[in-house]
Amino acid sequence: MDTQHLILGGGPAGLSTAYHLQEEYILLEKADRVGGLCKSVEENGFLFDYAGHIVFTTDPYVKDTLYPMLLGDNLHWQHREAWIYSKQVYTRYPFQAATFGLPVDVVKECVLGAVEARYGSGGAGAANFRDFIFSTWGRGIAKHFMVPYNQKLWAVPLEEMSHTWLAGRVPLPDLGEMLEGALRPQPKAMGPNALFGYPLRGGFEALAQGWLRYLAPDRLKLNVRVDAIDPVRKAVTLDTGAQIGYEHLIVTAPLPVIVDLLTTAPEPVRTAARGLRSVSLRCVNIGIDRPAMTEKHWIYYPEDPVFHRLFIQSNASPFCTPPGCSSFTAEITYSPHKPLPCEGPALIERVIEDAQRVGMLRPDDRILVAHQVDLPFAYVVPDVHKEQNVALIRSWLATQDIHLAGRFAEWAYYNSDHAMLAGKRVADQLQQARLTRAATVIMPPIATERSGSAVR
């Protein structure tokens, strides 16, 4: 079962790589279906994603070609309703541009801090994420949202994180917008996903399933686990003992996992892989028998609840629940720095209690579905050593003809559109390399006419 291209992982990056290669390949996926973290789970007519997902992009190829190709008329677009719940008040996301409605002393602290930051360094030269927060948005916004929320989300000390991952992800309103957002309600959503899409039917997994119409079924191998990668022999060993040889290996699995599977690698590469950090995510999915739980799509919680965000799954599409019902996913990150407060049924009860406390659930709501999904690798932690570690690993893997694609293989904060583009990028690079090799032909020497000893 040797192949020219062997792809490890059937998430959006692996599926995109397979589609764009248009050459011989085999794709191995350890689960029973493709999708990676873009899968969905169904129970009693309720459909939940593996954490809250939406469709949006700034890339024309993804928007105008891939989304229509994969989803067709199964995609509908909505204006985002993202909110923050703090001080027992709802304010629009992003917090830094919408403090109107918070207690007056909180608004004053946020405005004064923003003015002080505006005439400071503005984030330039910040040594870490915490410094960046204070120097960009000021002490008030840092105190009342940015620091507590990000500590809750990332589950690692903010002093150990870089701030470069923020580019294009978190709105950076200017001082005028921040002041306006303190004086009057923010009338509309702002940021890159102010308009977002979502599959009408099939949950977010519909995006992954869309690739299957364009891929040869016999090239997709499901329920297959890789036990070892031998970069010298260019072969992988499966848990069955079978081996697959390859010419080029494309991996989309988590980078530390890939390095651990290598039969040989320099110690600096293994040390760098051990230095990579990630945050795990526990999702508690709740379905109730009441319609129209809220008009919001998701809410951020910087304060007491065990969850940092509620994604209102029933507002993503009306086909995510049975008629007359509502649903949400409570997202809870955890790490060695921030363990889960409890496990099993106790965690579900804690989510229900906290959702009642913040007014999302009522005491008389009838719970129809309550279960958990665990995502051991959910967020790549952009700590201050990440870039150096990834560069070292990546450069050595390139010498072994091992190519990285996607969020976890490249150890980057990618959304699904970035992952799809990463797969295309690797496929394009491999095809271009093949064309270059094919064009490099040793030409015979050009004959020359001689007259005596002179060459014309």
Taking only the tens place, the pLDDT of each residue in 128-155 is 999 999 998 999 999 999 999 999 999 9
- 190 pLDDT higher than 80: no
**328 and 231 belong to one structural domain:** no
Q: What is the mean pLDDT of residues 164-179?
A: 76
Domain membership flag for residue 122: yes
- 452 pLDDT higher than 50: no
- 68 pLDDT higher than 60: yes
**44 and 156 belong to one structural domain:** no
Q: What is the mean pLDDT of residues 262-275?
A: 98
Domain membership flag for residue 317: yes
Last residue of a domain, one of 156, 185, 214: 185
Q: What is the mean pLDDT of residues 354-372?
A: 97
Nearest to residue 40, comparing CAs of 235, 239, 198? 198
434 or 274, which is more confident: 274
pLDDT band at 450 (very low <50, low <70, confident <90, very high): very low
Note the pLDDT of residue 122: 56
Note the pLDDT of residue 439: 78
Contact yes or no for 172/3 (Cβ under 8 A): no
Note the pLDDT of residue 454: 35
d(CA 284, CA 331): 7
Domain membership flag for residue 218: no
Which stretch of 174-178, 217-221, 241-245, 250-254 has the lowest confidence by average pLDDT? 174-178
DSSP assignment letter at 28:
E
**Could you tell me what percentage of the chain is helix, strand and coil, using 3-state DSSP and rounding each to the nearest 5?**
40, 25, 40
pLDDT tens digit sequence for 279-337: 999 999 999 999 999 999 999 999 999 999 999 999 999 999 999 999 999 999 999 99
**16 and 44 belong to one structural domain:** no
138 contact partners, CB below 8 Å, separation of at least 6: 110, 112, 113, 114, 115, 116, 117, 118
- 119 pLDDT higher than 90: no
- 124 pLDDT higher than 90: no
**233 and 369 belong to one structural domain:** no
CATH classification at residue 52? 3.90.660.20
**167 and 300 belong to one structural domain:** no
Helix orientation angle between 104-118 and 175-183, rounded to the nearest 10 degrees? 170
CATH classification at residue 235? 3.50.50.60
**348 and 256 belong to one structural domain:** no
Contact yes or no for 371/379 (Cβ under 8 A): no
Domain membership flag for residue 282: yes
Q: Return the structure tokens found at 42.
A: 């169904």
- 191 pLDDT higher than 90: no
**300 and 426 belong to one structural domain:** no
Note the pLDDT of residue 189: 73
Count of domains forming the chain = 3
**166 and 266 belong to one structural domain:** no
Domain membership flag for residue 452: no
**318 and 395 belong to one structural domain:** no
Note the pLDDT of residue 126: 85
- 445 pLDDT higher than 70: no
Q: What is the mean pLDDT of residues 330-355?
A: 97
Q: What is the residue range of 178's domain?
A: 93-185
Domain membership flag for residue 446: no
Note the pLDDT of residue 444: 52
Domain membership flag for residue 160: yes
- 448 pLDDT higher than 70: no
Note the pLDDT of residue 123: 56
Which stretch of 103-117, 373-387, 431-445 has the lowest confidence by average pLDDT? 431-445
**303 and 418 belong to one structural domain:** no
410 or 122, which is more confident: 410
**272 and 409 belong to one structural domain:** yes
Note the pLDDT of residue 188: 72
Domain membership flag for residue 88: no
**357 and 388 belong to one structural domain:** no
Note the pLDDT of residue 121: 56
